[in-house]
Amino acid sequence: MAIQAAPEEVQVATKPLLQVQGLTMSYGVGDSENKILNDLNLEVDDGEFVSIVGPSGVGKTTLLRCLSGLIQPRSGTVSVGGEVINGPHRDLAVVFQDYSRSLMPWMTTLENVAFPLQGRGVGKKERNETAEKNLAAVGLAGQGHKYPWEMSGGMQQRVAIARALAYNAKVLLMDEPFASVDAQTRFDLEDLVIDLQSTLGVTIILVTHDIDEALYLADKVIVLAEKPATVVDVIETGFGDHRDQVETKADPRFVEARARILHRLRDH
């Protein structure tokens, strides 16, 4: 009897969802040119959580602004789903650090979350339903009638996250989103974002100067250093889906990765 050979496994290469190629960015021109980012190359897969860390002033926010299409790089490209972006894009939503300036105080929470959908031509009933659903997803079910100034800082940042989610973007870009809240609220918001990412499968890129936060949240940590900034290390965390504020941070892999990042930053 002839023995049949097992069919060879076919490896299908999947393309990254977000790709940065040769990105260079400066502020100013001529003699006053200040080069911030130098020839950055990054890849982020669909559903991945990527943290970007680096010292203050290295250019983290500048990079995130380039990724969101809010500013144009001097050279290089950012593409999402293979499409090169040259301005704000429907697949990219941003959550900023300063929730008090990003929410509109004269609108209720529900109106704040629903508002951006108006620009997409979504009808009022669907806008409100989407806003309710996303407020519930961030633990604010039934709170839509409140104004932002009636809520705590942590609750306002949840509203800002709900608004970004309501956009139904593929990639959530977060710039130091938890830097303005107290330590316990920060942990709660970190765990909320982990839950959202695993339930909704959204891809997240988070900028932070907090190394523990970067490691705790991410599948991959990108370390920026030098002037102009370049990628000096990329660390795959390998912690899996389950994270715990105490256990994960005591995991030897966490401790080792933290030391590695600190060394990288000290050596540059």
Ligand X SMILES: Nc1ncnc2c1ncn2[C@@H]1O[C@H](COP(=O)(O)OP(=O)(O)OP(=O)(O)O)[C@@H](O)[C@H]1O
> Taking the complex as a whole, how short is the minimal distance between the CB of residue 35 and ligand X, in angstroms?
10
CB nearer to ligand X: pick between 37 and 138: 37
CB nearer to ligand X: pick between 92 and 110: 92
- Footprint of ligand X (CB under 6 A): 27, 36, 54, 56-62, 209
> Taking the complex as a whole, how short is the minimal distance between the CB of residue 124 and ligand X, in angstroms?
37
> Taking the complex as a whole, how short is the minimal distance between the CB of residue 67 and ligand X, in angstroms?
12
Q: How far apart are CA 16 and CA 10, in angstroms?
A: 19
| String of DSSP letters for 204-243 | EEEE-S-HHHHHHH-SEEEEEETTTBEEEEEEE----S--
> Taking the complex as a whole, how short is the minimal distance between the CB of residue 19 and ligand X, in angstroms?
21
> Taking the complex as a whole, how short is the minimal distance between the CB of residue 224 and ligand X, in angstroms?
7
CB nearer to ligand X: pick between 60 and 220: 60
CB nearer to ligand X: pick between 1 and 29: 29
CB nearer to ligand X: pick between 61 and 198: 61
Strand partners, 236: 220
The answer to whether residues 132 and 144 touch, using CB atoms and an 8 Å cutoff, is: yes
Packing angle of the helix pair 109-118, 153-166 (nearest 10 deg): 20
**Two tokens at 68?**
């969101």
> Which of 222, 239, 233 is CA-nearest to residue 50?
222
